[in-house]
């Protein structure tokens, strides 16, 4: 398969579009977690300890604006917000799985944890 860079309109490049949507320090992790099911904001925050509340909120809003995740607010006391993949977001599951598997194969020490800066 021959790959072409879209020189007339680089923004129409499928790779660039994909990276713009799923690129971000925490987006792949968020998407990987949501690929396993619906999660509340607090669950996401708890499972990604280094992420700040502000950054997590920003990344979730961007994914929602791109139509990748759903945000459902329950008007309860206390309020509850749940996030899940949209139908469009579900199409990313094989991509996310591929990234996960690539990371496993290319980790010299599979017991080693990766520090994020």
Q: Look at 9-18, 42-51, 89-98, 106-115 and tell me which has the smallest mean pLDDT.
A: 106-115
Mean pLDDT of the chain: 88
Structure tokens at 9: 């309109």
Could you tell me which of 29, 43, 51, 48 has the C-alpha nearest to residue 100? Answer: 29
Alpha-carbon distance of 83 to 40, in angstroms, equals: 6
Is there a contact between 51 and 6 (Cβ–Cβ < 8 Å)? no
Count of all residues that appear for the chain in the document: 117
What pLDDT score was predicted for residue 107?
85
Indicate the pTM of the whole model.
0.81
Alpha-carbon distance of 117 to 51, in angstroms, equals: 10
For 72-94, what is the mean pLDDT?
Answer: 95
13-105: CATH architecture:
Orthogonal Bundle (1.10)
């Amino acid at each position: 398969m021959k790959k072409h860079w879209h020189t007339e309109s680089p923004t129409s490049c499928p790779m660039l579009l994909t990276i713009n949507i799923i690129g971000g320090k925490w987006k792949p992790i968020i998407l990987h977690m949501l690929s396993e099911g619906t999660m509340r904001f607090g669950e996401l925050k708890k499972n990604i300890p280094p992420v700040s509340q502000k950054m997590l909120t920003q990344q979730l809003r961007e994914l929602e604006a791109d139509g990748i995740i759903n945000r459902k607010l329950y008007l309860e006391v206390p309020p509850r917000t749940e996030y899940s993949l949209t139908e469009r977001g579900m199409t990313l599951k094989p991509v996310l799985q591929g990234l996960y598997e690539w990371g496993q194969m290319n980790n010299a020490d599979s017991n080693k944890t990766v520090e994020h800066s």
